[in-house]
Amino acid sequence: MEKKELIMSAALDVFAEKGYHNTKMEEIADVAGIGKGTLYGHFTNKQDLFDQTVFWFLDNYFISLEHNIIEDDSIYDTIYKFIINHIDILEKTKTSFLNVLTDFSNIKRSKEEIFEFHQEFLFNKVSRYSKIFIKAKERGELRNINTELAAHFLIGALKGISESVLVGEKIEDPAKIAEEITDLLCYGMVSN
């Protein structure tokens, strides 16, 4: 792990435990095992560190969603694995996830900054997940669908699960939930 990632990992732990406003840069430097000057060599201030840590956390989260997914997986298996991985990650990081994202939402930002974050975040995820649906179309698994819209549906399903887990709902049978959501996304709601 490179030094900047080491710092962000330490920052994530401290921010999750103490909250953004109660965290001091010195505490993060201590947990990371570095000097305060080194910290400021990578980040201009606490908000810069916090924002970059949140982006890093979310990037790692989305990379982790793809764990165990192989290129030859069917679209059904790919979506199922996304959902299983999502539930597993949320259960393991629920407190950190909730605390850090709540603080991120509560930091005063301009409308432009908020729009830019959401636009970049959503664009990257939709672009990445559209490719999964494009490949499935090329393999003949999907009819001629709008792959960007399909990516939005997948992201929406993940968000719905997040809201349930983050407010305290324990998913007793993740495999069953993943199968039901995957079935709904792949085969729809209308009976044939």
Q: What is the pLDDT of residues 33-76, one digit of tens each?
A: 999 999 999 999 999 999 999 989 888 888 888 888 998 899 99
Residue 158: pLDDT above 70? yes
Q: Among candidates 25, 47, 50, which has minimal Cα distance to 38? A: 25
Residue 174 shares a structural domain with residue 86: yes
How many residues in total does the chain contain? 192
The verdict on residue 59 lying in a domain is no
Number of domains in the chain: 2
Helices and strands, counts by H and E, the chain: 8, 0
Maximum Cα interatomic distance, the chain, rounded to a whole number of Å:
65
Q: Are residues 73 and 132 in the same domain?
A: yes
71 and 163 co-located in one domain: yes
Taking the model in full, what pTM does it have?
Answer: 0.83
> Do 48 and 89 lie in a common domain?
no
Residues 48 and 71 grouped into a single domain: no
Q: Are residues 28 and 84 in the same domain?
A: no
Cα 59–Cα 32–Cα 116 angle in degrees, nearest 5:
30
CB 48 within 8 A of CB 65: no
Q: Is residue 61 part of a domain?
A: no
Token pair 């792959």 is found at: 147
Same domain, 78 and 113: yes
Confidence of residue 1 (pLDDT cuts 50, 70, 90): low
Name the residue among 144, 123, 124, 122 with its Cα closest to residue 133.
144
- The answer to whether residues 76 and 160 belong to one domain is yes
* pLDDT, tens digit, 9 for 90 and up, residues 117-146: 888 878 888 888 999 999 999 999 999 999
Distance between CA atoms of residues 12 and 46, nearest Å: 12
Q: For residue 166, what are the domain limits?
A: 66-187
The CATH number of the domain holding residue 18 is: 1.10.10.60
Instruction: Looking at the structure, tell me whether residues 77 and 46 fall in a common domain.
Output: no
| 191's tokens | 């009976």
Same domain membership, residue 104 and residue 26 = no
Cα–Cα dist 81/175, whole Å: 9
> What type of residue sits at position 191?
S
